[in-house]
Amino acid sequence: MASAFKNIKEFKIISNYGGQIDLLGKGSFTGLQIYQSILDDTIRSNFELLDTGNRGSKDDVNVEEEDDIKITVGEQVNLILSDYNEFELDFTGIRQFTIEDISSSSSSTMNEMFGIHLCQKEYVDNQKEKHYVTKHFESKIHEIVFDVLRNVLGTPKEIYLDPALNLLPINGMKDTCFDFCTMLGPKSKPENEPDSAGYLFFENYNGFHFRSIDELFKQEPRRKMIYNDSNIIPPGYTNKILNQQTYNNMNLVQKMKTNSLMNSRLKTIETYQHTYNENDVFDAKSLYKVTNNAALEFPIVAKSLGVMEEINEVIDHIPNVGSLPPGRNIAEQLPFSKIRSFNLEQIVRQAISRYNQLFLYRTSITIHGDFDIYPGDIIECTFPEVSAKDMKMISSEKKSGLYMVADICHYINAEHCYTKINMIKDSIMSK
């Protein structure tokens, strides 16, 4: 029996107890979602499975089926799907899904409905004691991340890294690999943007990423999309936006606390020299250089209140002088005993501001299924607005422009295939 899910080529559960469930062809599930995000260290999926005892066709001699097969967590799932352009996402082999969670949502004497949640194998391996990070590192941070993912976690997947400028001596304290890599993000300065800081650690379909926020914004747009009333995509555009919603994420007091747009001061107590220092003021506007941002204009807020020129946040810190000096013995370590192993003044405040700038503006769009878009990609969008001058539709300078893909969800059911994208940007005027 042919499957009604034209966009799903293969969908099988491999049981811990032996045998397989082929989910295609019998209407055993209602829909499927695939999630990827710059804030998540695994790819996720979920679907609802209707268990009626009818497991699938037994005509395929290559598949062993069981009528009473048991579904438990930890079972492997093979999934292959394609979009309208025949681009495939192949979640078999090293990308094979694992059942992370099963919840029973409803049941009767004749059937039972399960909510099935999937994750990637590394998300499970990350919790194993043998993959805890316990070793000492003293190299550039992107090299540490590669070492942790390839040699401690043991992932065979691709690893994408933006070179970090700073070397960091650090000990693993029985951290999980994902926690350790995420913790290194705010400590990292990109080689090509030495006056900025802040990395994102995440997984998407292509592999694991440890990427600089600034380097991500420098990418060429992967897609050019338009939101209009026509069913025809104009020349030069790749996708038609079906619907769009913009969110205002600007809270004045919150922005003052997080130093995304204003000034901050750093106060330190040097325990080695017994001195107290108040560092120079750091201006978050210095992180805007046009080339490393989504748009041209730095947001201006509360101009009449003067908050952008005054100190709005004070950070207190005790520097780590002499902590974890590099070297294999005392003779090699002694010259570094009076030197800070981590330059907090140049990194931490920059990273805090950069992370908070990243989410200043948020927009969600829905398009027809396009599986070749990933978290971290840059998308150029054209959104309309009504001109007050002649009441005609024109391109909105505030809403249109470059966005970074923060989250993406592909939804497939028997009739449709859609992609929903949550996008973010740090500035408002389109380039």
Q: Which of 329, 350, 371 is the last residue of a domain?
A: 350
Residues 41 and 174 reside in one and the same domain: no
- pLDDT given for residue 293 in this prediction: 87
Angle at alpha carbon of residue 153, lines to 149 and 158, rounded to 5°: 40
The tens-digit pLDDT sequence of the chain (431 residues) is 445 588 999 999 998 888 888 888 655 788 899 999 999 999 999 998 876 655 444 444 454 444 444 678 999 999 999 999 999 999 999 999 999 999 876 666 566 778 899 999 999 999 999 999 999 898 999 999 999 999 999 999 999 999 999 888 888 999 999 999 999 999 999 999 988 999 999 999 999 999 999 999 999 999 999 998 888 899 999 999 999 998 766 777 777 777 777 777 777 776 666 677 777 677 888 888 888 888 877 777 777 787 777 777 777 666 666 566 666 677 766 666 666 656 666 788 888 889 988 988 899 999 999 999 999 999 999 998 765 555 556 777 778 899 999 999 999 988 889 999 999 998 876 55
3 lies in a domain? Answer: no
- pLDDT given for residue 81 in this prediction: 95
Residues 258 and 232 reside in one and the same domain: no
- pLDDT given for residue 337 in this prediction: 63
Residues 161 and 206 reside in one and the same domain: yes
- pLDDT given for residue 63 in this prediction: 47
Residues 6+ apart with CB under 8 A from 262: 255, 256, 284, 307, 308, 310, 312, 313
Q: Which of 119, 137, 159 is the last residue of a domain?
A: 119
Residues 288 and 325 reside in one and the same domain: yes
- pLDDT given for residue 259 in this prediction: 74
CATH of residue 169: 3.55.50
Q: Which of 104, 119, 134 is the last residue of a domain?
A: 119
Residues 140 and 261 reside in one and the same domain: no
Number of compact structural domains in the chain: 4
Residues 181 and 39 reside in one and the same domain: no
369 lies in a domain? Answer: yes
Q: Are 257 and 333 in contact (CB under 8 A)?
A: no
- pLDDT given for residue 2 in this prediction: 47
Residue spans of alpha helices (H) in 261-415: 330-333, 344-358
Residues 386 and 245 reside in one and the same domain: yes
Residues 108 and 24 reside in one and the same domain: yes
Residues 138 and 203 reside in one and the same domain: yes
2 lies in a domain? Answer: no
Amino acid residing at 163: P
- pLDDT given for residue 152 in this prediction: 97
Say which residue the tokens 């800081």 belong to.
197
Domain, as residue range, for 345: 252-350
Residues 91 and 229 reside in one and the same domain: no
CATH of residue 112: 2.40.10.10
- pLDDT given for residue 61 in this prediction: 44
